[in-house]
Amino acid sequence: MKVALGSDHRGFEAKQQIRVIATELGHECIDFGTDDNNPVDYPDLAYQVARAVSMKEADRAVLICATGIGMCMAANKVHGVRAALCHDELTAQISRDHNDANVLCLSAEQLGAIVLRKMLEVWLNTEFSGGRHERRVRKILAIEEGHDPREVRNG
């Protein structure tokens, strides 16, 4: 799987760890930066990475900033992106299994190396289960298209 990576300066070190973990798990990483600890604006990186997912240049992506909040907000503005801010293995697993998240947003300040590894493993290895969740994801897509999600029916 191709995994796009991006971080601001506060997430740079965590992004380096994530690249190693994802590569060890057999994934190809596309690193959009940043390349050091010098200050950058997280929306710039979030846009580039989310666009790579939207344009099918990457299958999934991981974004990291101090809290993950800014990256998540910015990434979710890109058409076709379902970014999820996750804090533990359960939220990482559910974001894929139930919500078909294609961008994982993480806090560089709140996650240690062990939790980071476990979350990434779970997120990259969990597939979307579909079923009753399929309708709900279609409702999210309807909202993105400017439609009332209540108009989405089964099937």
Task: Give pLDDT tens digits for 68-93.
Answer: 999 999 999 999 999 999 999 999 99
Per cent of the chain over pLDDT 70 is 99
Would you say residue 150 lies in a domain?
Answer: no
Would you say residue 143 lies in a domain?
Answer: no
Active site residue 9: no
Would you say residue 140 lies in a domain?
Answer: no
Find all residues with CB under 8 Å of 15, minimum gap 6, and list them: 5, 6, 7, 31, 62, 64
Check 9, 29, 72, 98 and give the catalytic one: 98
Model pTM greater than 0.85?
yes
Would you say residue 76 lies in a domain?
Answer: yes
Residue pair 118/106 in contact by the 8 Å Cβ criterion: no
How far apart (Å, rounded) are the C-alpha atoms in residues 61 and 71?
11
Active site residue 65: yes
Would you say residue 151 lies in a domain?
Answer: no
Find all residues with CB under 8 Å of 150, minimum gap 6, and list them: none
Q: Report the domain count for the chain.
A: 1
Check 29, 65, 86, 105 and give the catalytic one: 65
